[in-house]
């Protein structure tokens, strides 16, 4: 395992790239706790040259588009850390790796962005190792994105997020999301995966629930409907 200095002290760090991209979108950068961020980076064995490493080292997470999407960073606070969400060991363990891959972000409806690991297929995820995938609450299935983390993050920060979610925004969504804690999500009834729920989310009954409860509901519903088990959705 490389020393932490090799991960942090790099030429061409990714953080200035992230900062520049963030300037074009509504965002909040949550303050990092340095020791936790460094431990997370060391467990991942990536450098701050990558955009993933830059977010891990320099943030306690990113809250994007008026709170709709939470991108996990290197330390916990009002938002859980990447380590907490993915069940990292309590201290750095060179032998440990997340076999399914890394949960990167959750949206307020319980959608999950994840980065595929080397054995993602065994956990029901499509795509190749290192590819970003999304668990959609309106289908309860995973779908693929082109490319890996860097491509996904820059696409999201370059206007992709409002475009991607345009069909599920409802008129009062910003006000409702503004009242959420960063460990909470929104559940709808009828649910998004039903015909009634998908046709008119604005008319659905909505309430705030802990994100862990919402993710557990999605996983349980997959089993009840005879759908493929989604694998790890994160411990938000």
Answer whether residue 234 is part of any domain.
Answer: no
Answer whether residue 229 is part of any domain.
Answer: no
Answer whether residue 232 is part of any domain.
Answer: no
Could you please report the per-residue DSSP string of 13-58?
Answer: -SHHHHHHHHTTS-EEEPPP-HHHHHHHHHHHT--TTSHHHHHHHH
Spatial distance between the Cα atoms of 20 and 154, rounded to a whole number of angstroms: 10
Answer whether residue 187 is part of any domain.
Answer: yes
Answer whether residue 33 is part of any domain.
Answer: yes
pTM above 0.85, yes or no: yes
pLDDT of residue 1: 67
Answer whether residue 87 is part of any domain.
Answer: yes
Top-confidence residue, 199 or 190: 190
What is the extent of the structural domain holding 50? 4-224
pLDDT tens column, 142-176: 999 989 999 999 999 998 999 999 999 999 999 99
pLDDT of residue 124: 86
pLDDT tens column, 86-126: 999 999 988 898 888 999 999 999 999 999 998 888 888 99
Check pLDDT > 80 for residue 3: no
Answer whether residue 169 is part of any domain.
Answer: yes
Answer whether residue 132 is part of any domain.
Answer: yes
Structure tokens at 203: 């008319």
Domain count, the chain: 1
Contacts 24+ apart (CB under 8 A), 40-45: 40/74, 40/75, 40/81, 40/82, 40/83, 40/88, 41/4, 41/7, 41/8, 41/74, 42/1, 42/4, 42/7, 42/92, 43/83, 43/88, 43/89, 43/92, 43/93, 43/96, 44/102, 45/1, 45/2, 45/7
């Amino acid at each position: 395992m490389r020393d932490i200095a090799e991960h942090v002290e790099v030429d061409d760090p990714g953080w200035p790239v992230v900062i520049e991209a963030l300037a074009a979108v509504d965002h909040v950068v949550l303050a990092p706790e340095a020791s936790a961020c460094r431990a997370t980076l060391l467990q991942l064995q990536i450098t701050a040259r990558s955009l993933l490493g830059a977010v891990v080292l320099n943030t306690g997470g990113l809250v994007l588009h008026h709170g709709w999407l939470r991108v996990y960073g290197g330390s916990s606070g009002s938002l859980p850390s990447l380590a907490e969400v993915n069940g990292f060991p309590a201290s750095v363990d060179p032998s440990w790796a997340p076999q399914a891959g890394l949960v990167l972000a959750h949206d307020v409806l319980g959608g999950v962005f994840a980065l595929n690991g080397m054995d993602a297929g065994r956990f029901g995820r499509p795509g190749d190792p290192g590819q970003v995938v999304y668990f959609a609450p309106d289908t309860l299935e995973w779908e693929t994105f082109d490319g890996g983390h860097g491509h996904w993050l820059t696409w999201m920060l370059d206007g992709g997020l409002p475009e991607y979610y345009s069909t599920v925004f409802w008129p009062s969504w910003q006000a409702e999301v503004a009242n959420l804690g960063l460990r909470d999500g929104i559940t709808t009834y009828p649910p998004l995966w039903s015909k009634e729920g998908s046709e008119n989310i604005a008319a659905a009954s909505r309430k705030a629930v802990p994100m862990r409860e919402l993710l557990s509901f999605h996983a349980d519903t997959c089993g009840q409907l005879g759908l493929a088990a989604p694998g790890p959705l994160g411990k938000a």
